[in-house]
């Protein structure tokens, strides 16, 4: 079982901001254990996309159910299943593993590696009604940790793509580009370090909400 509790802040960077910021971070951060990864995620939702629509409204409390791999999955492999909740700016995440084939075929009959987390996932499934794979999000991620504070984590997501059909944990020719900008996410347990605040001010990077799945849904809805 894995449990996470932290503050998360997102920033949308243009190319100039991204290059300047990564340069200024040198000396303050180190490459994470999993420095470069290809994120593959599938989000579950109702037929009318209740969870995504609720997330777009930015309520005080929201939750997401997704499966995630850090590489392309071409067969039946064990992948992460995550129940992610956000309340009052704090993110809580419960995570276990299960078979990718079972998850995509029928998550309700899935055998979760951690039964306790599995029960919580099944409770969420029952609460919202029949949830099913709804949208794929993929990106290339580079991750860093603080040199002095290993609880500080900074990630940069680039080449962000999505699709709402042919749902699997791999990229296909049906993928659509979500944005040409970089999504930076700060993950901290307590207050932001002063040096980091000063760097963000220098590159004029300010926190803003950017839900990949929410923006992908709106883009698809608008037929862009």
**pLDDT recorded at residue 74:** 82
In sequence order, what are the beta bridge partners of 34?
none
Going by C-beta distance under 8 Å and a sequence separation of 6 or more, which residues neighbour residue 16?
A: none
At which residue do the structure tokens 């995630």 appear?
68
What are 152's two structure tokens?
């500080």
pLDDT digits (tens, 9 = 90+) for 115-145: 999 999 988 888 887 888 999 999 999 999 9
**pLDDT recorded at residue 75:** 82
Average pLDDT, integer, range 173-195: 91
**pLDDT recorded at residue 131:** 87
The pTM assigned to this predicted structure is 0.90
The span from the CA of 114 to the CA of 121, in Å, is 11
The span from the CA of 59 to the CA of 4, in Å, is 21
**pLDDT recorded at residue 150:** 84
**pLDDT recorded at residue 159:** 96
Question: Is 38's pLDDT higher than 80?
Answer: yes
pLDDT band at 190 (very low <50, low <70, confident <90, very high): confident
- With a pLDDT cut of 90, the percent of the chain lying above it is 58
- What CATH number should be reported for the domain whose range is 2-221? 3.20.100.30
**pLDDT recorded at residue 224:** 59
pLDDT band at 42 (very low <50, low <70, confident <90, very high): very high
31 and 143 Cβ atoms separated by less than 8 Å = yes
Question: Is 3's pLDDT higher than 60?
Answer: no
**pLDDT recorded at residue 170:** 85
Question: Is 109's pLDDT higher than 70?
Answer: yes
Distances in whole angstroms, Cα of residue 145 to Cα of each of 14, 142, 155, 185, 201: 22, 11, 9, 12, 20
Q: Tell how many helices (H) and how many strands (E) occur in the chain.
A: 6, 9
Distances in whole angstroms, Cα of residue 146 to Cα of each of 54, 69, 141, 215: 33, 24, 17, 29
Sequence spans of domains, the chain: 2-221
pLDDT digits (tens, 9 = 90+) for 65-100: 999 999 888 888 999 999 988 887 778 888 999 999
């Amino acid at each position: 079982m894995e449990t996470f509790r932290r503050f998360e802040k997102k920033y949308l960077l243009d190319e100039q901001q991204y290059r300047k910021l990564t340069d200024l971070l040198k000396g303050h951060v180190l490459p994470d254990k999993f420095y470069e990864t290809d994120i593959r995620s599938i989000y579950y939702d109702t037929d009318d996309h209740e969870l995504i629509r609720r997330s777009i409204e930015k309520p005080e409390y929201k939750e997401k159910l997704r499966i995630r791999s850090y590489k392309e999955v071409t067969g039946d492999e064990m992948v992460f299943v995550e129940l992610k909740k956000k309340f009052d700016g704090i993110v809580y995440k419960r995570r276990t593993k299960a078979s990718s084939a079972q998850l995509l075929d029928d998550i309700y009959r899935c055998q979760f590696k951690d039964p306790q987390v599995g029960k919580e996932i099944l409770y969420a499934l029952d609460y919202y009604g029949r949830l099913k794979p709804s949208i794929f999000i993929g990106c290339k991620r580079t991750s860093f940790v603080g040199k002095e504070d290993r609880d500080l984590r900074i990630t940069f997501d680039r080449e962000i793509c999505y699709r709402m059909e042919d749902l699997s944990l791999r990229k296909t020719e049906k993928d659509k580009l979500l944005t040409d900008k970089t999504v930076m996410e700060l993950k901290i347990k307590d207050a932001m370090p002063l040096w980091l605040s000063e760097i963000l001010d220098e590159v004029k990077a300010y926190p803003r909400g950017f839900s990949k799945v929410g923006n992908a849904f709106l883009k698809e809805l608008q037929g862009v």
